[in-house]
Amino acid sequence: MAIENQVIGQSIEVEIAYALNTMQILKKIRVPKGTTLEKAVQLSGIMKQFPEIDLNKNRVGIFSKFSNRTTILEHNDRVEIYRSLLIDPKEARRLRVAIKKT
């Protein structure tokens, strides 16, 4: 009998998260033990659903901490795919200050 949240056989369960302005995607998948972060993202199919995801450009992390694509995942890890900034933070601050002055 399998108990929830336990490693079953030689596989683990992980979550793949990707957020847009209008929605958040969270996919639970089962992968072989020893799977890398990059391979889990590929196996999730999320890059087919969102072709703008490019692991050579998008940063990734586990539980809000930047990670390498070669990181070996552990059971119940949440892999997060981060979007690129739309504007440089310094430029955004300058724009906010300029708007307040007017």
- Taking only the tens place, the pLDDT of each residue in 12-64 is 999 999 998 899 999 999 999 999 999 999 999 999 999 999 999 999 999 99
What b/e sequence results for 55-79 when a residue is b if at least 16 CB atoms lie within 10 Å of its CB, and e otherwise?
eeebebbbeeeebeeebebeeebeb
Contact 60, 80 (CB under 8 A): yes
Domains and CATH numbers, the chain: 11-101 (3.10.20.30)
pLDDT at 7: 53
Range 62-76 average pLDDT: 96
